[in-house]
Every structure is written in C-alpha cells, then in structure tokens.
Amino acid sequence: MAGGFDTDEDDVIAAINMVPFIDICLVLLIIFMVTSSYIVRAAIEVDLPSAASGSDVAPSTVLVEIQQDGSMFFNGEPTTLDALPALVEAEVASEDTVNAIIAGDRRVDYGVVIDVVDVVKLAGVASFALNIDREAEE
C-alpha cells in the first residue's frame, strides 16, 4: 500500500526522503541571494578619473633585514653594511620611486639600525618604514 502503512517494523528503510533536504538547500540559496545584494551595495562607489599619463606600476620596495647576530640581508640576499649603499643606489637608479622596509631583530644594537636608516636615506629612497611585530610578547 502507498505510504507504507502495512509495513513491518523490522523492514529495512530502502529509500531516503530527499524533499526536506532540497527544501533546506533552496531556503539557504534564497538567503544567500538576498544577503549578497546588501553586501555589494555596502561598497563605496567611486568614479575614478582617467589620465593619459597614468601608470599601473607600483613603486619598488626593497627589504633590508638585520638578524640578531648582526648579519644583514638585502631583498633576501646576504650583504654587509659596507656593500649596502651600492645595492640601494643601484635600485634607486633603476626605478623611479623606491620605498624601503627595514626589519631589525629586537636584540640588534640600536646603532646598527640607525646606520641602515642613514644608508637608505642618503641613497635617495623616497620613503622607508621600520617593520614591527604588533603582537610581540614582551
């Protein structure tokens, strides 16, 4: 009989009812469609001007790292404080705008970091930043 009114309780269920699953999927799809339109509307729309002389090139950034033992790296390559000015000047000569990030270990002598800052500024780098760890434990 249809509907399973005359089945034994010991019979194995041979089919799974998919209707509730499909209903839940459709409800989730509707919720997603409604909320996605609000997310897109929350973005700020800006009508950017165009220029014939504009470029998509971002300024070049160099990274100077100073390890705890005093060893130094320029863009991942080992270097020394004496060789650093030539490397930075070569980068400045090859690019229009060069920014620098100086990352020194917290146990490095303060004077070494200042020496690196002087080298970077004297080489003509447009701007520099000192890299820090915001969540470092004291």
Closest CA to 112 of 83, 71, 63: 71
Quick check: is 67 in a domain? yes
Contact 102, 108 (CB under 8 A): no
The predicted pLDDT at position 45 comes to 52
Q: Report percent pLDDT > 90 for the chain.
A: 12
- The first and second tokens of residue 59, run together, are 């300024």
Q: Is residue 88 part of a domain?
A: yes
Residue 54 lies in a domain: no
Query: What is the pLDDT at residue 1?
Result: 47
Residue 5 lies in a domain: no
Q: What tokens appear for 126 in the block?
A: 């447009």
| Residue-wise pLDDT tens digits, 45-77 | 555 556 666 555 556 788 888 888 888 989 888
The string of DSSP letters for 69-102 reads TS-EEETTEEE-TTTHHHHHHHHHHH-SSEEEEE
Closest CA to 62 of 134, 122, 128, 110: 128
Please report whether residue 19 resides in a domain: no
Range of the domain at 70: 60-130
Is 13 inside any structural domain? no
Angstrom distance (rounded) from CA 56 to CA 58: 6
- Band (pLDDT 50/70/90 cuts) for residue 29 is very high
Domain count of the fold of the chain: 1
CATH number at residue 111: 3.30.420.270
Residue 92 placed within a domain: yes
The predicted-structure confidence for 95-126, as pLDDT tens digits, reads as follows 878 888 888 888 888 888 889 889 889 988 88
For 113, the token pair is 């970091």
Residue 99 within a domain? yes
